[in-house]
Amino acid sequence: MGTVFPRTDNAGKTTFQARVRRKGFPALSKNFPTEAAAKRWVREREAELELGISSAVPQDTKTYTLSELIDRYIKEVTPHKKGHAVEETRLRALQRTDLAKLTLPELDRTHFKVYKDARLRVVAGSTVNRELNTLSHIIDVARKEWGISAGDNPVKDVSRPKNPPPRDRRLSPKEQVALFAAIADTRGGYLRHIVELALETGMRQSELVGLEWERVSLPKRTIRLMVGRTKNGHGRAVPLSRRAIEILESLAPEGGRRGDVFPGVTTEAVKRAFIRSCQRAGLEDFHFHDLRHEATSRLFEKDLGVAEVASITGHKDTRMLMRYTHLDASKLADKLG
């Protein structure tokens, strides 16, 4: 069955997408400047399908479910990404949805819109955007690299939810005391050290959990994060405060400083333990990543410049740091005299 529907871009320009769908075959689609041209293309493709002409019939007649594509993507693409473990967990969860049971020819933008709306009732818009972008990439890879005929990518026709404004949650001194008291009740003792180092260095959770002693130089008071081991892929040297040095010295193994600083600790374990500690401490709407924001804000409060802070935190776009300058107005007033 062939359909034609208009599409209007952000500039107000309207084009017409023609789509031909037939059970057992990937959807065929193409964009045209006029409705007449789109309808003509639909008639031609439908006629070719009736006659079995090869231009309309894919060479590989196997139909793949989205779950099968996800499985191949996890094996061939995900391992080469930073944060591959997290992505695999998310994709495995997606494989258990009804959406993943559908074949590529069956999928259209309506399915992904329904998925988007359902997810928005559970998670933030930024999470939904990441999921849709990954799904879109899976289909693009299937089409362009694996030679699987799929017509146009239907995910690209789904509008994205707006990302929420950047968080500006600060940790008050009273809240910090309560948080550390709650953390004292956790098993293992590692969480207090990780949280304190996050506040002292501005390092991300993944950077701290994956920290190795080979990257730590206590004499030089630095941690050197290597290229490819950070979120943006760029290496950086993180200066260590006196308190950070004390924490690391207390963690140093007697047999020599080799291997993981926090052996056996995973980001998921830290996440769960931190959430429980915040609940016990009575902290509302406070996430682990807010520790990085708090640390960055404190660096500005110590009168460091934007370039200096960027070299510590690893922000490549200094414009991202401008949101950290909304500091305590009373403290700024004191500086004004």
How far apart, in Å, do the first and last CA atoms of the chain sit?
75
Among candidate residues 278, 277, 211, 296, the one with its CA nearest the CA of residue 248:
211
As a residue count, the chain comes to 337
Question: Is 289 tagged catalytic?
Answer: yes
Catalytic residue, candidates 45, 119, 292, 293: 292
Block residue for tokens 């374990």: 269
Has 324 been annotated as catalytic? yes
Question: Which one is catalytic: 43, 75, 144, 231?
Answer: 231
Known catalytic membership, residue 30: no
CB neighbours of residue 282 within 10 Å: 10
List CB contacts of 101: < 8 A, sequence separation 6 or more: 65, 66, 67
Among 267, 286, 275, residue whose Cα is nearest residue 83? 267
193 catalytic? Reply is no
Which strands make up the sheet holding 2-8, listed edge to edge?
2-8, 14-20, 28-32
Q: How far is it, in rounded angstroms, from Cα 25 to Cα 178?
A: 60
Is position 315 annotated as part of the catalytic site? Answer: yes
Catalytic-labelled residue, pool 43, 289, 316, 326? 289
- Here the contacts of 129-135 (C-beta below 8 Å, separation 24 or greater) are 129/160, 129/161, 129/163, 131/90, 131/94, 132/158, 132/160, 134/87, 134/90, 134/91, 135/66, 135/94
Out of 116, 204, 215, 293, pick the active-site residue. 204
> Which residues are catalytic, by number?
204, 231, 289, 292, 315, 324
